[in-house]
Structure 1
Amino acid sequence: MLEINFYDLNTIEDNKLLFAVIMAKYNEKWIYVKVKGRNTWEIPGGHREIGEDINKTASRELFEETGAKKFNITPVCVYSVKSDEPIDYTESFGQLFYSKIEELDKLPDYEVSEITLVNTTPNSLTYPLIQPFLHNKVLEFLYDKN
């Protein structure tokens, strides 16, 4: 079983933030990506490189996975995923971002094979026990902002 927790920004040590995940909108639709070799959709994001600022990770991953050329990106919160499986009892931390993309370029030839633009969370998710919570957290963030 997985447990997802949310934390305010700057409350978890920076060096514990291993990845950035970016809920991105383009033309008022959410972007989900399909990684090469998979048949499921996921939120753009990825692992932080050694010595990389987590905000730079988010911008880099957004470009690499969507082709976003012109965009605004905003930190939303820190989150963790904790597994209670005896073989994998760990808690890993990431930072969740929201981005409004103004311009998409050609999709870079990295790990993503295609993107989709949707109004709601797709049915076939790579991480169905995690991604809907992240999507909803960004919806709450946007609602609270207005």
Structure 2
Amino acid sequence: MEVKFYHQIDDTLLKFAVVFARYQGKWVYCRHKDRDTYEAPGGHRELGESIEMAAKRELYEETGAVEYDIKPICVYSVEGKTRVNESGDESFGKLFYAEIYRFEELPGYEIEEVRFFKDLPQELTYPLIQPVLLKKLQENNYVKEG
């Protein structure tokens, strides 16, 4: 599994949006109804949707966040087989950071629960990817460790 970072690529290659979000100083993580692990909000870009729209939609659908500041951080890619990429070919996404101020009720989609963590949870859905993305945020002073 290899995670790479880019300043920019052709927009049509961006398939995923991942949002590392904080609320009252803690990380916001979701647990899918079909899993026992946690992940940062995010998901696939839908047809006709900008990657920024995808990030905002996923943030709402997976957390219920309705008031927040969100900003793009960088483009990343993952090479290697994952649950959402069976081919293992390089796939591209955009990393975002959000500061959440208010939630509404969690929409009844695929997320079972939202939890807040001081640090990365031990039970990650993507343990080889999410820590690398979080480290990128910290290296660029978007958020401080701890």
Normalising by structure 2, report the TM-score.
Answer: 0.91
Q: How much does 1:89 deviate?
A: 4.1
Residues 1:55 and 2:52 are matched in the alignment: yes
Unaligned stretches of 5+ in structure 1?
none
Q: C-alpha distance in 1, partners of 2:140/2:103? A: 24
- Matched residue SS, 1:57: helix
Q: C-alpha distance in 1, partners of 2:142/2:130? A: 18
Residues 1:13 and 2:6 are matched in the alignment: no
Distance 1:26 1:39, change over 3 A: same
Residues 1:66 and 2:89 are matched in the alignment: no
Give the paired residue count: 141
Normalising by structure 1, report the TM-score.
Answer: 0.91
- Matched residue SS, 1:62: helix
Q: C-alpha distance in 2, partners of 1:36/1:144? A: 29
Q: How much does 1:135 deviate?
A: 1.2
Residues 1:24 and 2:30 are matched in the alignment: no
Distance 1:67 1:89, change over 3 A: closer
What residue is the counterpart of 1:3 in the other structure?
Answer: 2
Q: How much does 1:140 deviate?
A: 2.1
Root-mean-square deviation (CA, aligned residues, Å) is 1.9
Q: Which runs of 4+ in 1 moved over 6 A?
A: none
Q: C-alpha distance in 2, partners of 1:136/1:28? A: 17
Q: C-alpha distance in 2, partners of 1:66/1:129? A: 23
The sequence identity of aligned pairs, in percent, is 50
Letter in 2 for 1:134: L
Unaligned stretches of 5+ in structure 2?
none
